[in-house]
Structure 1
């Protein structure tokens, strides 16, 4: 009675997958004339990644092919191999149970079939010419039957790979382009371009599309990013043309003034001596002392903002003593600050046109304060191109959006924070600029020998 309840216990299970594998094996009529077993195996291996065939199954088929000969794949023959499970497991470096799972998976994928002997054992014998006389075991005929399917699948997969690679290269190119445009916007302080948002979007798209193989989805993403990149490039190019036009206009004004016969140049005294005025091809020498005569009769909005926030020469010196240690300590005059700013601009590589434009837009005091703030940030590593940064400040000043007073108070707060951290980390928070300033004060007061 127990046998009647489980008649197939211990035998190979026959299901829909096994039936399909046997049907595929029965359709084998030999390999094409231009194809041998090596070519059939190669076609299967090329198609395997695109058919989601596990690597373990691919290795199993590769090992099984080693027991076949070209005669087994001719028309009318049946490619059967009969290694025992223990021997096959050793070849693959697996356990017997792991091998059985791979064989079952190969049947589900219609890659092999089984031809069992009456006693359930594998075995076979070859004739003297190498043809199979009789055999029971693992049938590889399904691979021969599906040779064209493997070829077409491999061709489609490789074509998709090429298309996907091309699309991802385009996405990488637009990512690099938008990154470069975003850096240009930062260097030239171009506001309103939303370059940072475009950069974040293209970086997110690159991450999301990393493992995507949907060509339509990938194409739509790449085309959209390219379109946004072109729009950003056109916007930044227009802004740069506008900046260049302003610089050329400024240079034209300066050259016209320098070439005019009746042009009066600024001097360092309260009474201009036009007959003895001297001009220089570099930065003009600034004035020193309290007797500096402003070229503007009315303070600029930037100078009014500095005065509103209490930013005077003494305040500027306290914010950046490393840069301002050469200022006189008996009295602090804007003439000294302007002279220092001219020298710092020259040392930092700021073009003279940017300095002249700053003087025209912000006034002498505003320009000097802007240069010192720019060089201070340049030395701190916050600014990469001081000339471009100063031109950006000129643009903000023209629009009335430059708040230089708040900038200096922010620099002062940052300096105090650094000093507090240094005091916490060590006993001596004094900067080199502070030491130089104190030494200069001692020299000027005659306290040193």
Structure 2
């Protein structure tokens, strides 16, 4: 004997239109519909955020499905289970009763189950004389059968979104790696280009990326990085095409900015202007004894210690950071974009940045940094300027200051040990001999 099928919950719990809609959907399931309950549960678990379910509510749904004896849920079979709260709590790993009731309500609100409450709210089943179930009160699992196709589609949508998110993250990682390494290559190879500006642009784009970002934001950042990547790649490819493949310079990894095959003639610096970044003729002649290679970053930072204050977090780890600091120093010193561009064209961006760092180190002694940089740029075009003398002059001044401090009462001796060595300038013996050459 089948009695009335209740549609409203027991007690003070109200009925909502959403609950009625779930019941309508459950009653409209195709005749003979049958699903494997754990397959559907897997789809529900993957699409839980779109459905509105929680981890706790799914733990309860898992327990409810375990009370159904068959592996399949069929429209022709009995889809109501009637476990007590104690039984549900045991199968839900000891979940508290208050938490159990709250998350049962979540399952009802999500349309995953329907309450079939008895007149007194108890859960039980009434059997006929033959042992078959005539009436059951508890939780109806029919929405799982009726909406199985919907849950499968939602799960596929979630998987598609996960794949798209993973692809976006991979593209972001590859673009970041390529851009950083190509900028480093351009700087190390001496390729003409505004590498400092490119570095600042890259840092600005990456600065928009939070710790956890949605896929749309990642894709937008990738589009901006892709444009920067194209610009950097074109600069490197253009430089590669202009090189003579038979030239020895292609093996040394250095680009000669000056048309003079011997690079900047160091002998001309001694006969040029007698005053260069605070140095004199003897300092310019000192170029003859210096190694004919690029200035090491460590020596530049020793000579231009104030440059670190322009870097992010006050640290400069490589030439990329050094050039990024130049983009900060230029407007601070009042150097116009055109003057900076001309300096980069004449000296190369790295040498121009070193020159700017030396100017910044002595900013209190220079009236017009922009005019001074233009003057040095003009000399560089004639092959009469190199950044070496400027850096060496600053190093010599630093050594002289340390020597004077050591000779004063209370000063640290040159051969002191322990903490007295902290903050002292350390250079090679060859460089010290070069710096200490008697001035003529």
TM-score between the two structures when normalised by the length of structure 2: 0.60
Tell me the residue number matched to 1:196.
199
1:238 paired with 2:261, answer no
Q: Which residue pairs with 1:411 in the alignment?
A: 395
How far apart are the structure 1 equivalents of 2:80 and 2:271? Answer: 92
Q: Which segment is superposed worse, 144-153 or 191-200?
A: 191-200
For structure 1, which runs of at least 5 residues remain unmatched after alignment?
1-7, 252-282, 284-293, 317-332, 351-370, 440-449
Deviation at 1:87, TM superposition (A): 2.8
For residue 141 of structure 2, what is the aligned residue in structure 1?
140
Compute the displacement of 1:203 (Å). Answer: 2.1
Query: What number of residue pairs does the alignment pair up?
Result: 333
2:283 counterpart of 1:304: no
Aligned residue in 1 for 2:40: 40
Residue by residue, what CA displacement relative to the aligned partner does 1:175-212 show, whole Å, maximum 9, x if unpaired?
1111112212332455524221232144235x259531
Per-residue deviation, 1:104: 1.1
CA contact (8 A) 1:171 1:222 kept: yes
| Larger Rg belongs to | 1
**Residues in 1 aligned to 2:297 and 2:226: alpha-carbon distance in whole angstroms:** 37
Report matched runs for 1:270-309 at 5 Å: 299-300=268-269, 303-304=272-273, 309=278
Tell me, in whole angstroms, the C-alpha distance in 1 between the residues paired with 2:220 and 2:131: 57
* Residue in 2 that maps onto 1:212: 214
State the match for 2:419 in structure 1: 426
Q: 1:411 to 1:249 in 2, by over 3 A?
A: same
- Correspondence list, 1:31-70, <5 A: 32-33=33-34, 35-70=35-70
CA contact 1:309–1:405 (8 Å) conserved in 2? no
Q: 1:249 to 1:40 in 2, by over 3 A?
A: closer
1:377 has 2:281 as partner = no
Residue segments in structure 2 that go unaligned for 5+ positions in a row: 1-8, 251-261, 303-315, 321-346, 354-376, 434-440
Q: 2:109: which partner in 1? A: 108
3-state DSSP of counterpart to 2:138: strand
Query: Post-superposition shift, 1:230?
Result: 0.9
* Paired residues of 1:80 and 1:139 also in contact (CA < 8 A): yes
Distance verdict in 2 for CA 1:196–1:437, change over 3 Å = closer
Larger displacement relative to structure 2 (71-80 or 121-130):
121-130
Written as runs of structure 1 = structure 2, the 5 A alignment for 1:143-154 is 143-154=144-155
Structure with more contact order per residue of length (Cα contacts < 8 Å, sep ≥ 6):
2
TM superposition shift of 1:127? 8.0
**Deviation digits for residues 38-82 of structure 1, max 9, x if unmatched?**
222222223224434211112111111000133872233341111
Backbone CA RMSD of aligned residues: 4.7
Instruction: Tell me: CA distance 1:117–1:178, structure 2 relative to 1, closer, same or farther (3 Å).
Output: same
Distance 1:377 1:70 in 2: 78
TM-score under structure 1 length normalisation = 0.59
Report the Cα offset of residue 100 of structure 1.
1.0
Contact between 1:29 and 1:145, CA under 8 Å: does it hold in 2? yes
